[in-house]
Amino acid sequence: MKLSLFSESETKDVINLFKNVFSESEGEAEGEAISEFVSSLIATTQAKDLVGCLAKDNEITVGCIFFSRFTVPSGQVAFILSPVAVATDVQGAGIGQKLIQYGLDHLKSLHVNLAFTYGDPSYYSKVGFEQINESTVRAPFPLSQPIGWLAQSLDGNKMQAMTGSTRCVAALCDPSLW
Ligand SMILES: CC(C)(COP(=O)(O)OP(=O)(O)OC[C@H]1O[C@@H](n2cnc3c(N)ncnc32)[C@H](O)[C@@H]1OP(=O)(O)O)[C@@H](O)C(=O)NCCC(=O)NCCS
């Protein structure tokens, strides 16, 4: 398996991966919704604000994740991980964790201070994310599952509570995603 950074020429493959994985795990409507979200994320986010990572097996894309810029009131540099997909037939083999770790290492090399995500704490804790409270950092929209609000420091400094609002990229500005 080969890990690499996403480039725009891989857009079609990536959208198909998300569509298939989410259709199979959560139904066709969710597959459609995620493919629209990923298309919008790629089309509307400036290159400096988007980091995608791919896992390929014999040139076939079997995993993909995106981090997009997340603006926090402390002024630290932050990105948020969303979404994540690993092809159904190769799930549970460690690909998701390797891909996320690869992405986090890349963000560290870019001197990013903080990484956030919103998802299952039991999964994302395997790659260093910890549950945070909105009194530490506010989410940009009301959270339907506050236990899924997660973050980690990438620069070795303990994360500090901050006051003020946060901002995500346009594609994530959809209350139904939160
Ligand atoms: C969630 C997902 C990305 C995990 O990737 P993966 O390559 O299958 O996972 P890994 O092999 O790295 O990790 C496996 C471990 O995570 C756990 N795990 C896998 N999917 C999980 C999930 N949805 N929730 C909680 N834990 C999960 C497994 O139980 C396993 O735990 P163990 O190591 O203690 O046995 C993948 O299963 C997937 O694409 N699922 C459908 C889409 C999805 O739910 N995406 C996440 C939301 S954006």
Provide the percentage of residues in the chain whose pLDDT is more than 90.
100
Answer yes or no: is the C-beta of 96 below 6 A from any ligand 1 atom. yes
Answer yes or no: is the C-beta of 51 below 6 A from any ligand 1 atom. no
Q: Which of 66, 67, 92, 97 is nearest to 79 (CA)?
A: 67
144-175 burial: b if 16+ Cβ within 10 Å, else e: eeeebbbbbebeeeebeebeeebebbebbeee
**Model pLDDT for residues 12-63, shown as the tens digit of each residue:** 999 999 999 999 999 999 999 999 999 999 999 999 999 999 999 999 999 9
Max CA distance (Å), the chain: 47
- Computed over every residue of the chain, the mean pLDDT equals 98
The pLDDT, as a whole number, for residue 24 is 98
Question: What are the chain's domains?
Answer: 2-177 (3.40.630.30)
The pLDDT, as a whole number, for residue 77 is 98
Ligand 1 atom with the smallest distance to the CA of 91 is 8
* Pocket-testing residue among 89, 91, 100, 126, ligand 1, by greatest number of atoms within 8 A of Cβ: 91
Answer yes or no: is the C-beta of 31 below 6 A from any ligand 1 atom. no
The pLDDT, as a whole number, for residue 150 is 98
Q: Read off the pLDDT band of 177 (50, 70, 90).
A: very high
The pLDDT, as a whole number, for residue 96 is 98
* Pocket-testing residue among 25, 120, 123, 129, ligand 1, by greatest number of atoms within 8 A of Cβ: 123
Query: Residue with the nearest Cα to atom 24 of ligand 1?
Result: 123
Distances, alpha carbon 65 to alpha carbons 12, 32, 51, 57, in Å: 14, 17, 8, 15
Q: What is the average per-residue pLDDT within 81-97? A: 98
pTM of the model: 0.96
Query: Residue with the nearest Cα to atom 20 of ligand 1?
Result: 123
Answer yes or no: is the C-beta of 87 below 6 A from any ligand 1 atom. no
Q: Read off the pLDDT band of 171 (50, 70, 90).
A: very high
Q: What is the average per-residue pLDDT within 118-141? A: 98
The pLDDT, as a whole number, for residue 33 is 97
